[in-house]
Structure 1
């Protein structure tokens, strides 16, 4: 450590019997030829000097005020040491002139780095330059960005040819918080970050309240923005999932039925893993994720969008898991499937039994369950069995926590305890909200089913007309707007039926339908009847809660699906302007040709674009014809026809996989569109007006305005999700003027103002409603998912082992 210049040290070596001499402050010039301890001429003020001993005692020094009167020894010391500081100081008297801030040249322009240590480290370690071209970067935002990047692998910044990034901070909304600006120089990339993404990125300490321990509160909004910006390649995202969450992403078996995940799909997956409680990282038994090829389904569960294979250690995602484009749906689905591993591999029997007690689950036969309650489920699927109940509850606990709090508070508290204190809250921007007023809000569920009438008649043609009537009790709830049931035969065929009020009587619901004379004979039974009111409050009635008997007597029953001759499949292509018509002809045989149909998908793997059609029966060729019109704006490359389904009037279905017989066609789009549409998030505006302002009853007219455009094919399908105060979601489509048109009418690349109009029904719950998400697809199928809410995370804060 450097000593202060004003410090003077005196060392004296004396005879042991003598007191030390007083230090001398004389600074006589050294004699010529004096050397220092290293034998070199002395130029340093610090010097050592030898003197001869003198037999003459020195004269006594005068006693100064405050000085000891004890006289120094009369004898000269054997050794003396003197040090005198130099008065020539440089750079230690006045404040220095500040060094100019670092300047980096990007794209031929000088960019000044903000004067914070985090900004300098981002520039020197990660080649990320923060530029104050819009909002100013301060130490806090720069540090938050640095800390989020440090969580993740350094590969995108350290590999050969890694670009330099220029980041600016935007004060206005940006869709999904990041905009990548195209540039001519591949060595320099420019991204704009939404300043709002930083608002809750830094965990803030929350004090104890209502029995909760100390907790921190934060969101992963900035984390998602970092992934979208810097980890924008599939190998990089695979590395993130492997190193941060201890899972791998790899092909399934057989390899020809699977493909790699897309970049968006992996980023969805990583964002879910980041949101879930820490116990979901490296779950025992779960090792990897797989993705089935575009256009294909799982042969064992063809309707499943994803499957948790607990014994095989992986979660398999189908194409249908991602085609909706809804981030809300994809996130809940991923959390749901991973929760199956938590149930099977982590939870012990007693813990599972505790959860099952909340809904009174009882196993009546192997894999056959009944439940004792009818209202404390977060979804229809949750009322299937306790495994799905748990998986749905945990997924909703993270992404729609208010739903669990509202309908199943005991499950909410249980999930909170299971998650180690993790708790979630939906955070909203006032811009995307509106208020609903209701002086008499509906606080009851639909009435309980207290009676069922089932009647059948044979028609002249031999078919079966069925009328089923549900009686609801006003003593056990309110009236209902509708009911739904999937009624299944013993041959695994089914019919989906909806019940409506009879003559406006909301306590009497009826379904009137026909079952073909070729349908399966025997009993047809619903596993579950879901009763809903106008506000979408639901009651889930299982077989334990109602009695049902429907017997169908069909001497001509058909229990075999149509058989396809895969050796004689025909395949033709024809041009129609810029479009290509692909016709696949599949010869089939069945007991009857009446009502023969099917469906299939023509898919392009690289772009994830696909076209799904229903088949028509050609009586002359005795074949099902699958006709695909591939527009000129579709992706160029190889399109495959591999999997198709045949179906008859009795509801029998069969899935076919052509495998090595897969049909392929090379298509070149005249104006191929592979980029997603754009949404001007800053243009979104919402207005809500009660239909009866003097006595509001929840009925509200809502108008939502937004601007959108697309570069080539034009805006197509648009859907949106609304979050209610109860935590429920309301999903609908916006049927704009180009929703159904095969070709966009107008200039697709011009910003256009669109208007959504909807009316919330009477009885809608009062409070704050939120536009949660919008999903935009262009005519080519490229998808943009814009989410307007933020998931806030609360977790326990531990210091030195103390909770």
Structure 2
């Protein structure tokens, strides 16, 4: 047994030495070789199952998140097996073995807004955040990639949240921390928005409160004050898909208020048959039938809520939106997801100037 153990240690040392040498070999690095750069910059070694194109995609993701160089090397391979979250991480002495599903490189046609790059991104996030346990890294990704802070200071509460509540004659009692698991869900749905819409200067905080938010709301977008609040019991008990849908819905309100151009909103209003109606409880009515709206809420409220629910369903339950209104599905696909997925938005446009 001792002899077998010694052989295993020798084999491991050889692998570890091969990886460690990437940072010390005395030759001119190939700047265009993504496999070399992953090893040099992040101690990530890809085995022969990786193509150069796949390696380039992973390198691009690592650069976009800018993780610290791991003190523990990792060896990555691609497998046809199925894994939870598309990834399996096995820890060994001084080394991590990472296996990812080949499915991450296949575009799933049922998820129209989710490309293979986004699926690979979520897999990489699982690795970088140590399966969602490294809270500082999770918070850094949320802040740097999406412009969102989740652990707000008492000063922010005092000068941002409380004045907003006071203006609506509300007195909040209990702020609560958001669990790492929920923050990982946030990253997953925020990433599904087009890259140009990842970060909005008007949306700065997402918080949780352990009390009723009023009107039976699961969450609320304070578009004039820069934050979204969740009811804690919703985060604790709702299915993952519902949390994703809720956050997508609330972020959509920020898009409607601050970013989407007037013509686009007018076209959406026309598509939904909306017209201003002073006699209506919400100031709007529609001449379309209920069956053309993805939810009762979207049908009963106004164009803003119609857009928010429709966009959320496009991202989370696309088949339901297609089933009830293909025109709205196509509108969101072409006018928002495609347009902003292939468009650079200047800081002036994002700030509403």
TM-score normalised by the chain length of structure 1: 0.34
5 Å matches for 1:255-294?
A: 257-292=174-209
Cα 1:376–1:365, aligned 2, differ >3 Å: closer, same or farther? closer
User: How far is the alpha carbon of 1:316 from its aligned partner?
Assistant: 1.0
Q: 2:45 aligns with which of 129, 144, 149?
A: 129
- 2:190 match: secondary structure: helix
Greater relative contact order (CA < 8 Å, ≥ 6 in sequence): 2
Q: Equivalent residue of 1:248, what SS? A: coil
1:385 shift after superposition: 0.8
1:412 aligns with 2:325: no
With over 3 angstroms needed to count, the CA separation of the structure-2 counterparts of 1:231 and 1:106, relative to structure 1, is farther
Kindly indicate whether the alpha-carbon contact (under 8 Å) linking 1:394 and 1:415 is maintained by their aligned counterparts in 2. Answer: yes
Q: How many angstroms apart in 2 are the aligned matches of 1:283 and 1:405?
A: 28
Structure 1 residues 277 and 137, CA gap change in structure 2 (3 angstroms):
closer
Match of 2:258 among 345, 349, 358: 345
1:221 counterpart = 2:137: no
Q: CA deviation at 1:172?
A: 0.9
Equivalent residue, structure 1, for 2:242? 329
Higher helix share: 2
C-alpha distance in structure 1 between counterparts of 2:89 and 2:116, whole Å: 25
Question: Aligned partners of 2:294, 2:175: CA distance in 1, in Å?
Answer: 32
Candidates 52, 71, 96, aligned match of 1:189: 96
Contact 1:234 1:262 in 2 (8 A): no
Give 1:241's match in structure 2, choosing from 115, 134, 142. 142
Equivalent residues, number: 297
Cα distance change of structure 1 residues 283 and 121 upon mapping to structure 2, 3 Å threshold: closer
CA, structure 1 residues 289+333, in 2 after alignment: closer, same or farther (shift >3 Å)? same
Asked whether the equivalents of residues 422 and 796 of structure 1 are also in contact (C-alpha less than 8 Å), the reply is yes
Match of 1:143 in 2: 56
Aligned to 1:507: none
Deviation at 1:279, TM superposition (A): 4.3
Residue of structure 2 equivalent to 1:153? 66
Distance 2:193 2:298 in 1: 19
Residue segments in structure 2 that go unaligned for 5+ positions in a row: 1-9, 23-29, 109-113, 163-171, 345-353
Q: Is the aligned partner of 1:167 residue 2:66?
A: no
Shift of 1:200: 4.7
- Separation (CA, whole Å) in 1 of partners of 2:116 and 2:50: 20
Q: Does 1:231 align with 2:231?
A: no
- Closer, same or farther in 2 for the Cα pair 1:299/1:197, shift >3 Å? closer
* 1:110 and 2:19 aligned: no
What is the CA–CA distance in structure 2 between the aligned matches of 1:397 and 1:403, rounded to whole Å? 8
Closer/same/farther in 2, CA of residues 191 and 390 from structure 1, 3 Å limit? same
Match of 1:178 among 81, 87, 91: 87
The answer to which of 249-258 and 233-242 deviates more is 249-258
How many angstroms does 1:218 deviate by? 4.4
In the TM superposition, residue 306 of structure 1 has moved relative to its aligned partner by 1.5
Return closer, same or farther for 1:123/1:421 CA change in 2, 3 Å cut-off.
closer
The unaligned stretches of length 5 or more in structure 1 are 1-104, 202-215, 424-794, 799-803
1:603-657 CA-to-partner distances (Å, cap 9, x unmatched) read: xxxxxxxxxxxxxxxxxxxxxxxxxxxxxxxxxxxxxxxxxxxxxxxxxxxxxxx
1:231, 1:190 → 2: CA distance? 15
- Distance (Å, rounded) in 2 between the aligned partners of 1:393 and 1:299: 23
User: Would the alpha carbon gap of residues 106 and 338 (structure 1) be closer, same or farther in structure 2, given more than 3 Å must change?
Assistant: farther
Q: Which has the higher strand share?
A: 1
The answer to whether the 8 Å contact 2:213/2:231 transfers is: no
Instruction: Tell me what 1:573 maps to.
Output: none
CA distance in 1, matches of 2:339, 2:329: 11
C-alpha separation between the residues in 2 aligned to 1:219 and 1:348? 28
- Determine which of 395, 399, 402 is the counterpart of 2:312: 395
Q: What is the DSSP-based 3-state SS (H/G/I as helix, E as strand, rest coil) of the residue aligned with 1:125?
A: helix
Q: Structure 1 residue 419: deviation in Å?
A: 1.0
SS of equivalent residue, structure 1 residue 193: strand
Are 2:285 and 1:370 equivalent residues in the alignment? yes
2:151 to 250, 271, 277: 250
Indicate which of 298, 315, 319 corresponds to 1:382.
Answer: 298
Query: Any conservation in 1 of the 2:249–2:308 contact (CA below 8 Å)?
Result: yes
Larger radius of gyration: 1
- TM-score of the aligned structures, taking structure 2 as reference length: 0.72
The question of whether the paired residues in 2 share the 8 Å contact of 1:234 and 1:261 is answered with: no
Q: How does 1:340-739 map to 2 (within 5 A)?
A: 340-347=253-260, 351-361=264-274, 362-363=276-277, 364-365=279-280, 367-374=282-289, 375-386=291-302, 387-419=304-336, 421-422=338-339
